[in-house]
Each structure stands twice: as C-alpha cells, then as structure tokens.
Amino acid sequence: MKRKVLLIYTGGTIGMEKNYETGELVPFDFSHIFSKMPEMNLLECEVSVHPFSKPLDSSDVGPEDWKKIAVLIHRHYDQYDGFLILHGTDTMSYSASALSFMLKGLRKPVIFTGSQLPIGDLRTDAKENLLTGLTYASWYEGDEAVIQEVAIYFEYKLLRGNRTLKYSAEYFDAYHSPNYPLLGQSGVHLKIETEDLFRPEPDEEFSIDTHISREVLFWRIFPGMTLEYFSEIPKMKVLILQVFGSGTIFGTEKTEQVLRKIRANGTEIVVVSQCISGGISFGKYENSSVFNRVGAISGKDLTAESAITKCMHLLDNPGYSGTFAENFALNLRGEVTE
C-alpha cells in the first residue's frame, strides 16, 4: 500500500530560485514541484502539496501560522499517513516546538524540513532534505507509524523538534539537539533510534490545542547589565531569563530586590541557560540560590525556543488544571530531561 503524505509548503529558502537578472531570491510556485524535481515521482509514497497562498520568510512565521498548520494537520489527519512541512530555517525550531505542544496524542509523523540553499540552486541541500524528509514521513511498520512526534529532518539527521536550535547560518548541518540524542540518521541506510522516540499515552486521542499567549518576554543577562531597566518594562506575565552557565546571575542585593519586585507584580520568572548544552541547576552556586528564594521556575535543559513556546502554550491555557509552575514542570512531549 502506498502511504500518503501531505506536504505543507510555508515558504523559506527551500522554495526559492534565483532571479539571475537581479540576483534576488524569489519564491517559485511549489505546486510545480513534480516537474521541477522529477525524482519526486520515484518515491514510494503518494504526495499531495498544500502551499501557503503567500510563501513566508520564516521571520514572518508566528502564532497564527502555527495555529494554521495545526488546524491543517487536524483537518487532514485521517486522510494522510504523515505530514512534511517545508519551512524557512530561521525560525523552524520555534515552529517545531510550538507544534509539538499544540498536537496531542499524535500517532503520525510530522516532519519539518527546509534548506540552506534554494531548491533551484545547483549545489542545493534542498533535494536530499525533501526526499528523505518524505521517506521518514511515510515510514510505517505494519499499521504503526515509526515516528509519532514532531521532528526536524535536516542534513542527514532526524531530530526531536522541541529539542532543536538553529546552530549555523552557514553550514548545511544547521540544526543540533545538544541535550537529546539523534532520532535517526540517513546514510546508505535510513536509521532510526527506536528507544529514543516519543510515544503518546496509550489512551490519548489525537487532538489539537492551539491556545497561545503573547504575554511572554525573553531577556538575556550579560555582565554589566542595568537590572533597573526591568522595572521600566510594562507588566508581563512571564519573564524568561537566560542566565549564565548552570543558572548563575549577579550575586548582589540589587539583583534579589529587582527579582522580588518582578515576582510581586505577579510575573512568573522562568530561568534557562545561555549554554546550548546542559541545563539549569538552582542552588549549585551561591549565585543561583536567589532563584529558589524568589520562587523562580527552572527551565532545566530546555532550549530557549522550547521554553518560549512552552510558556506561550501554557500561560492562561484553560486546558491545564494546575498552576503555571506545576504545568511548566510537566514533560509534555519529551522536551525536557526529567
């Protein structure tokens, strides 16, 4: 039986070609992909293309587009065996993280991919990413999809979407998931690490939860920073602080005063690390104990992208019964190491 994959084209470099007169990259009509790439006809799966009416540079992709993708997947869930989302590379990790939280009880592959060079470029990485992405998105063992989560396939690597970050603006090997092993690799053979794959709860039905809050702010701490500026920021519901190493910040009285003031406004403080590998451990140093004292929430080894979208998903979400801190501590889709 031929598996069916819905290819959702949102935009990004992958769907571009060069205008040789101006030198600019311009989008090409993705519905012509089969004539552009005749190799597509050799695939063992059947592919239907759903292009966004206006292809987006991924710096323009945001919550409304995440919802649109979630709704599209929900609407076509029974018709297709897998979904491949072509997306600009710049914010792909945000979208993959957001989608992982929006899709509950997922039992089919949802794979994101893109490319560093346009599909119309001689040296493009787009073709391999697209063809192998489709192969992963249609991989079944009997009646069961091998991948039942949101993943990114890029440059021979399959990664858990909500563990990724865009690591390079230059190299084809653009994505890493420093705190989680590769889900798979493509070489001569297509490999999958079965024991590292996410599985939903057995009794969980597939559903979507597209709730997103925008009242989240992210701030990177740096040496010599004027902490007083925090009191000039309008009130926000969640402040994510990206601090040093395993969770340290300036050990001054002023720091504690400012953090307490933010908390007294009812703002939740979530702490993540500036290191891309490893995570937060409150109280390991004197300079991180302040976070315990002010009741901040540890982001553990979440990526910044995952922490931000998890906060947006959970904040004021009527679908969760606990407090924000209790819900944030949950490992929803394998995004955090417990």
Q: Which residues bind ligand ASP (CB under 6 A)?
A: 11-13, 57-58, 88-90, 114, 116
Cβ distance to ligand ASP smaller for residue 89 or 273: 89
Q: Least Å distance between CB 75 and ligand ASP?
A: 25
Which of 13, 89, 132, 303 is labelled catalytic? 13
Q: Least Å distance between CB 149 and ligand ASP?
A: 22
Residue 13 bears catalytic tag: yes
Cβ distance to ligand ASP smaller for residue 61 or 238: 61
Hey, is 156 helix, strand or coil? coil
φ and ψ at residue 111, rounded to 5 degrees: -115, 130
Report DSSP state, residue 244: B
φ and ψ at residue 50, rounded to 5 degrees: -120, 95
Listed as own residue / partner, the contacts of 276-280 with beta carbons closer than 8 Å and 24 or more positions apart are 276/165, 276/167, 276/176, 276/178, 276/303, 277/178, 277/179, 278/179, 278/246, 279/179, 279/246, 279/337, 280/243, 280/246, 280/247
Q: Which amino acid makes up residue 67? A: K
Per the CB < 8 A criterion, the answer to whether 179 and 279 are in contact is yes
Q: Least Å distance between CB 117 and ligand ASP?
A: 8
Cβ distance to ligand ASP smaller for residue 89 or 242: 89
Cβ distance to ligand ASP smaller for residue 87 or 108: 87
**48 to each of 85, 171, 334, how far by Cα in Å?**
12, 30, 29
Q: Least Å distance between CB 26 and ligand ASP?
A: 13
Active-site residues: which are they? 13
